[in-house]
Structure 1
Amino acid sequence: MTHLTPPGAARTPRQQQLFDELLAHFLGEGFRDFTVDGAAARLHCSKATIYALAGSREELVRTVVVEFFKRVSRGTEEALRGPGDAEQRLLAYLAAMAEQLRPASPRFLRDVAGSPVASGVYERNTRIASTKLAALVAEGVARGEFRPVPTGFIAEVISSAMERIQQRTGMGGIEGPGAYRELGLLIVGGIRAG
């Protein structure tokens, strides 16, 4: 009998392989129509093996989406800690964000926006990212790189724009990496000192 892997517990190599295959499938094809039966057939394993990854379909969706956004976060952290002034790091962070999100198909992002479980994960990660960017803006203000601006407002603007980018709504025909680059240039251009 296959047992549910407790949260935080290490997966077996086979479980990690299946989980990575599910993540790749979700990123490429979305998950709105995902079923455990379909996953078991596609991955050539039993439903019990799938349920060992998470106790229900919704929990599995949440776990996969959380893992994706953890990977996005890890891939963007270096830009925040990297060399350069606040402007360079802000632009590098948003460029890294665009690059990390590149594997996510439009269908995956639509499914994230349409799923209460997944959209909650995205919204939480967006708030965390906008808080980090607001701290970077505050650092730039303190060093005189940026003009004095209300960082809470800047964080809200960034958060709102990132949500719209994810939902692909009202972006004037620009998507993904280009949208993040333009957001960075817009923010930096609006707050640059002098």
Structure 2
Amino acid sequence: MPSPDRSRTRPEETLAQLRELFLAEGFASFNIGDLAERLRCSRTTLYAVAPSKEQIVVAVVRSFFKTVTERIEARVAASGDPARQLAVYLEAVAAELQPVSAAFLADVAAFGPANEVYQENTRYAAERVRSLVTEGVRAGVLRSVHAPFVGTAVAEVMNSIQRGAVQSATGFDAAQSYRHLADLVLAGLATAPADERAVTGGSLRYEVADGVATIELDRPESSNALDLPTARALGDAAEAAAADPGVRCVLLLGRGRNFCAGGDVTAMHGAADRAGHVLELARTAHRAVLALAGLEVPVVAAVQGAAAGAGLALTLVADVVLAGESATFLTAYAQAGLTPDCGTSWLLPQVVGLRRALTLTLTDRRLTAAEAADWGLVTDVHPDEELAEAARQAAARIAAGPFPALGRTRRLLRDAPARSLADQLSIEAATIAETAASAAAGARLDAFVK
């Protein structure tokens, strides 16, 4: 008999004991006398839970699913990553069903009122899966699919598991079945490999030629401001470049008069749920920033007109920044009453120093191209009409340079602030040794010696 928990009331303790008994052995074979004997209690104690055996069973089943749901949701809430929450949910369902006997599930399926409780829980689970899929799609970590269909399909499989059909066909118990369901759903919804995605569209152009992956923002009528589709396409393009073994350099461009005016403030203003929209946009843009920052090849950016907010951040993840004489650089967040995003608060102090970073963010000072070059934001300044060609030539020179040495050099410098000198020296030693073994290094060393 389960041991009593003195912190509970007597009916609560009885309910918990019944739950443990039913989960282990089912309930169809017990009458009230059997239950009283197994729990070593009186019938009166049992009837304090509910006035009949049938109602006791329903109370126990409802209590079980309520407790399980609370524990599952606690695990989901503890995972703030949209990429993991669907996995956490389905894995938690499997874990909670691990101790449940086949007899209990069979009895639930056979007893109408208990089965209705199960069906209520299944409908809730289907809706929860739908909402988690929707959130994952919005965050750009799951494929764009019809979330209600996925929820309905998952619910049908859950019903088949509960009826025993899956176990009859596969031999899997309920917990095993849910784990396989989680694997299947997540494999099907996982974002496609970058080289399988279409990264061109109405707001961005992507092409690879002669080792240079050109990513061009193409919303000139909106100063190339990042809305959700553009931010998503930018992340796709950066990941496509990372996955392409032929890419040696990435070139960032903005079509029209301005490089990038930041996030789409008009869309933010018009959103019914402004906070929700801004959060979704920030997370989507952050995926793009991380993809660009993590590239194993150098990044060149050509800036004409305004580079503001997220546009400024894109220049900060670039390694060579060429500016037209018309270019201006500003954070722009204070103007909109907002705080920095896209890594600006982390990247800007590294590039210009903390004091200057504070000046730019707190006062919304606008730097000219010449000032930006003086501050270290810009590598070179060119006449506007010569900027595009200068940028393409710079990217071409890098693409023709020693590979993988230039990309690894980028990584060494970009990652250094997070390491101690001792760790950096260790990484440098390993990297130069690995690079020395490359064919490109061998050819250049031969030519150097000769």
For residue 188 of structure 2, what is the aligned residue in structure 1? 190
Q: 1:80 is matched with which residue: 68, 76, 82?
A: 76
What value does the CA root-mean-square deviation take over the aligned residues? Answer: 1.8
Q: 1:32 is matched with which residue: 9, 28, 46?
A: 28
When structure 1 is superposed on structure 2, of 78-87 and 162-171 the one drifting more is 78-87
Q: CA deviation at 1:14?
A: 2.6
Asked if the contact 2:76–2:89 (Cα under 8 Å) also holds between the matched residues in 1, the reply is yes
1:121-154 Cα deviation digits (max 9, x unpaired): 1110111111111101001111222222111110
Q: Match of 1:183, SS?
A: helix
Q: 2:87 is matched with which residue: 72, 91, 96?
A: 91
Asked if the contact 2:102–2:173 (Cα under 8 Å) also holds between the matched residues in 1, the reply is no
Cα separation, 1, equivalents of 2:28 and 2:62: 16
Q: Match of 1:76, SS?
A: helix
Q: Structure 1 residues 59, 184: closer, same or farther in 2, change over 3 A?
A: same
Cα separation, 2, equivalents of 1:185 and 1:12: 38
Q: CA deviation at 1:40?
A: 1.8
AA aligned to 1:78 is A
Tell me whether 1:176 sits opposite 2:174 in the alignment.
Answer: yes
Where is the strand percentage greater, Structure 1 or Structure 2? 2
AA aligned to 1:94 is L
Q: Structure 1 residues 79, 46: closer, same or farther in 2, change over 3 A?
A: closer
1:100-115 residue pairs with structure 2 within 5 A? 100-115=96-111
Q: Which blocks of at least 5 consecutive residues in structure 2 are unaligned?
A: 1-6, 193-450
Cα separation, 2, equivalents of 1:86 and 1:162: 23
Q: 1:45 is matched with which residue: 41, 59, 66?
A: 41
AA aligned to 2:183 is L
For residue 391 of structure 2, what is the aligned residue in structure 1? none
Tell me whether 1:58 sits opposite 2:21 in the alignment.
Answer: no
AA aligned to 2:23 is L
Tell me whether 1:160 sits opposite 2:156 in the alignment.
Answer: yes
Cα separation, 1, equivalents of 2:77 and 2:8: 33
Q: Match of 2:179, SS?
A: helix
AA aligned to 1:190 is G
User: TM-score, normalised on structure 2?
Assistant: 0.39
How many residue pairs get matched?
184
Higher relative contact order (CA 8 A, sep 6+): 1
When structure 1 is superposed on structure 2, of 147-156 and 84-93 the one drifting more is 84-93
AA aligned to 2:180 is E
Tell me whether 1:117 sits opposite 2:106 in the alignment.
Answer: no
Larger Rg: 2
For residue 402 of structure 2, what is the aligned residue in structure 1? none
Q: 1:13 is matched with which residue: 9, 16, 33?
A: 9
Q: Match of 2:165, SS?
A: coil
Q: CA deviation at 1:191?
A: 1.9
AA aligned to 1:154 is V
Q: 2:65 is matched with which residue: 69, 75, 93?
A: 69
User: TM-score, normalised on structure 1?
Assistant: 0.87
AA aligned to 1:164 is S
Cα separation, 1, equivalents of 2:132 and 2:166: 27
Cα separation, 2, equivalents of 1:132 and 1:177: 19
Asked if the contact 1:27–1:105 (Cα under 8 Å) also holds between the matched residues in 2, the reply is yes
Q: CA deviation at 1:12?
A: 6.4
Cα separation, 1, equivalents of 2:18 and 2:75: 28
Asked if the contact 1:82–1:89 (Cα under 8 Å) also holds between the matched residues in 2, the reply is no
Q: Which blocks of at least 5 consecutive residues in structure 1 are unaligned?
A: 1-10
Asked if the contact 2:166–2:177 (Cα under 8 Å) also holds between the matched residues in 1, the reply is no
1:66-101 Cα deviation digits (max 9, x unpaired): 001111101100232232533311111111111111
AA aligned to 1:17 is E
Cα separation, 1, equivalents of 2:138 and 2:13: 46
Asked if the contact 1:134–1:152 (Cα under 8 Å) also holds between the matched residues in 2, the reply is yes
Q: 1:135 is matched with which residue: 131, 136, 142?
A: 131
Q: 1:147 is matched with which residue: 131, 143, 150?
A: 143
Asked if the contact 1:87–1:188 (Cα under 8 Å) also holds between the matched residues in 2, the reply is no
